[in-house]
């Protein structure tokens, strides 16, 4: 696909590519170069209403399509993603900014998820149980729910839509999808490939535009029983509140403030590699990024100097260049926010060890580049150790022992990912038990989830649901218990007690 030159894109509603009722548009901009990637409809609540009506109409047949047949469409979709992987990777490096290796990983995650959920078409297991009465059969089955409102962030622009849309589709639901306004073209390509894979009209719909007009209408629409949102904690709170009047199912995947613990007995080479990858990969813009490093006294100085040296070696640049280690951050607002936390950290008395500035020269002014930043001597209660910065900034916190490390790691409102580097198997198992997070890594950084295990967080990172694996199906289906009495007489549970 040609990426030079600007193209105007549309919404996809009821099987047709259509303009917004408003006729207004917004642009998607390359965060490394400032070039325009494309022009997209700035949609309105009326556009959402049309998309929901199309999805509602399509649901009546889609829910009856046998799940293995729905799965065949997802297999075709996975194959198309494989065929287009290189193009999507390049587009992601340009529209979202991540480096090519990571962009390829983002697409691969969608391939893996699509294959996994396609396989669910021949499982979607329920349960059969004995009945307490004679000549009676009991079972539970998963039922689709209806129109799912899918609202996604920009940081995993292909993977996250796949985490939501493929389990929703295999379960028999239809979709209205609102991608982030920073990565609309990747959302668009995702939908085009689903259409090419053979999804019937109305089963997938995409409406471009902002959270206030498009997202909010989806959240409040009475014909959308489920909202699945990945985004910031603040957005999650607002969405939950606004969905309450219609008693919607709300599935939230929100922020993180993840920590890596390094104990005195750790393999420091391995720990340093894991920290650099987790803190500065995707320019720190992962919900699972390691924005805190909790280090035991005995190795603090040594690890600190290794990390500073490694961070200073990282090459900043556009994601599509092969030798780039760290790409731009998503937009100028993010750049300002990240830098404001550098100022906050300095004001709080943390020691800026490296970075802490917007990158200049070398063409960096055209984009949003921030130098990988490490603070030392950080107190666990400082704002830079408590709040999500969502950029290439990490905070080193010194601790005496294992117990203090666990307390500090848990001493935040979020609970997404966690990690410990140690050679002591007893401590590793205690950490697996005691770290308050949805994900714990032993001797690996905080990133690297695989699609067949549940993904999500405890505490303020979410509201108790999980994406990926079997757990995702619980968001997009409801259980129905079915009792079949073939005795030919009225039998009463709990009352007819004779054997």
Binding residues vs ligand NAD (CB under 6 A): 151-156, 178, 180, 210-211, 215-216, 219, 229-232, 235, 238-239, 253-256, 287, 388, 390, 416, 457, 461
Give the single-character DSSP code of 215: I
If the CB atoms of residues 74 and 180 are measured against ligand NAD, the closer one turns out to be 180
Nearer to ligand NAD by C-beta: 232 or 463? 232
Instruction: Please give the structure tokens belonging to residue 266.
Output: 């750790």
Q: How far is CA 73 from CA 121, 157, 166, 168, in A?
A: 10, 21, 10, 13
In Å, how far are 199, 254, 290, 377, 434 from 463, measured between CA atoms?
A: 31, 9, 22, 33, 20
The label of the residue with tokens 């839509």 reads 161
Burial class (CB in 10 A: 0-12, 13-18, 19+), 315: exposed
The question of whether 365 is a catalytic residue gets the answer no
The active-site residue, picked from 102, 287, 388, 467, is: 287
Task: Judge whether 253 counts as a catalytic residue.
Answer: yes
- Nearest in space to 258 (alpha carbons), one of 391, 468, 412, 465: 412
Cβ proximity to ligand NAD, 229 vs 303, nearer residue: 229
DSSP H or E run through 326 = none
- Residue owning tokens 């219609």: 246
**Beta carbon of residue 407, minimum distance to ligand NAD (angstroms, whole number):** 23
Closer to ligand NAD by Cβ: residue 12 or 421: 12
Contacts of residue 438, Cβ cutoff 8 Å, sequence gap at least 6: 415, 416, 417, 454, 455, 456, 457, 458, 461, 462, 466
Cβ of residue 113: shortest distance to ligand NAD, in angstroms?
13
Least Å distance between CB 239 and ligand NAD? 5
Q: How far is the CB of 182 from ligand NAD (least distance, A)?
A: 7
- 84, 102, 188, 253: the catalytic one is 253
DSSP β-bridge partners for residue 420: 261, 442
Contact 387, 255 (CB under 8 A): no
Cβ closer to ligand NAD: 387 or 485? 387
With respect to ligand NAD, which residue has the nearer C-beta, 43 or 235?
A: 235
**Three-state DSSP class for residue 145:** coil
E strand or H helix at 225, and its extent? none
Provide, rounded to whole angstroms, the least separation between the CB of residue 369 and ligand NAD: 18
Strands 477-485 and 373-376: unpaired
Work out how close the CB of 332 gets to ligand NAD at its nearest, in angstroms, rounded to a whole number: 14
CB contact set of 235 (below 8 Å; sequence gap of 6+): 211, 229, 254
Active site residues: 253, 287
């Amino acid at each position: 696909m040609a990426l030079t030159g600007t193209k105007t894109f549309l919404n996809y509603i009821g099987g047709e590519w259509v303009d917004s009722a408003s006729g207004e548009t917004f642009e998607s901009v390359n965060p490394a170069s400032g070039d325009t990637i494309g022009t997209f409809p700035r949609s309105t609540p009326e556009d959402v209403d049309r998309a929901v009506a199309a999805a509602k109409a399509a649901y009546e047949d889609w829910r009856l399509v046998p799940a293995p047949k729905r799965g065949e469409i997802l297999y075709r979709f996975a194959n198309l993603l494989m065929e287009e992987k290189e193009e999507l990777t390049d587009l992601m490096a340009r529209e979202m900014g991540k480096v090519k290796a990571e962009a390829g990983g983002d697409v691969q995650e969608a391939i893996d998820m699509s294959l996994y959920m396609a396989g669910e078409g021949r499982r979607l297991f329920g349960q059969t149980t004995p009945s307490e009465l004679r000549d009676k059969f009991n079972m539970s089955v998963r039922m689709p729910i209806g129109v799912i409102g899918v609202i996604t962030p920009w940081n995993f622009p292909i993977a996250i839509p796949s985490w939501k849309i493929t389990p929703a589709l295999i379960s028999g639901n239809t979709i209205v999808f609102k991608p982030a306004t920073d990565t609309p073209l990747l959302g668009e390509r995702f939908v085009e490939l689903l259409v090419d894979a053979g999804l019937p009209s109305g089963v997938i719909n995409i409406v471009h535009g902002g959270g206030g007009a498009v997202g909010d209408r989806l959240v409040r629409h009475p014909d959308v029983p489920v909202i699945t949102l990945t985004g910031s904690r603040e957005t999650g709170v607002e969405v939950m509140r606004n969905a309450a009047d219609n008693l919607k199912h709300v599935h939230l995947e929100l922020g993180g403030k993840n920590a890596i613990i390094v104990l005195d007995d750790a393999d420091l080479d391995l720990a340093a590699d894991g920290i650099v990858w987790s803190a500065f990969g995707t320019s720190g813009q992962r919900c699972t990024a390691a924005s805190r490093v909790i280090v035991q006294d005995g190795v603090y100085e040594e690890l600190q100097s290794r990390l500073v040296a490694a961070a200073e070696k990282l090459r900043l640049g556009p994601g599509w260049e092969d030798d780039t280690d760290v790409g731009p951050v998503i937009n100028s607002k993010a750049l300002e926010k990240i830098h404001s936390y550098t100022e906050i950290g300095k004001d709080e008395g943390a020691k800026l060890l490296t970075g802490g500035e917007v990158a200049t020269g070398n063409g960096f002014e055209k984009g949003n580049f921030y130098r990988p930043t490490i603070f030392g001597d950080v107190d666990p209660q400082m704002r830079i150790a408590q709040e999500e910065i969502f950029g290439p900034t990490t905070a080193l916190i010194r601790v005496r022992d294992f117990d203090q490390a666990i307390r500090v790691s848990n001493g935040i409102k979020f609970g997404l990912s966690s990690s410990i580097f140690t050679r002591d198997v007893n401590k590793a198992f205690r950490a697996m038990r005691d770290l308050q997070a949805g994900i714990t890594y032993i001797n690996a950084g905080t990133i690297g989830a695989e699609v067949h295990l549940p993904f999500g967080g405890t505490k303020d990172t979410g509201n108790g649901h999980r994406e990926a694996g079997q757990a995702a199906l619980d968001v997009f289906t409801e259980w129905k218990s079915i009792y079949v009495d073939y005795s030919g007489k009225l039998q009463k549970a709990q009352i007819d007690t004779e054997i």
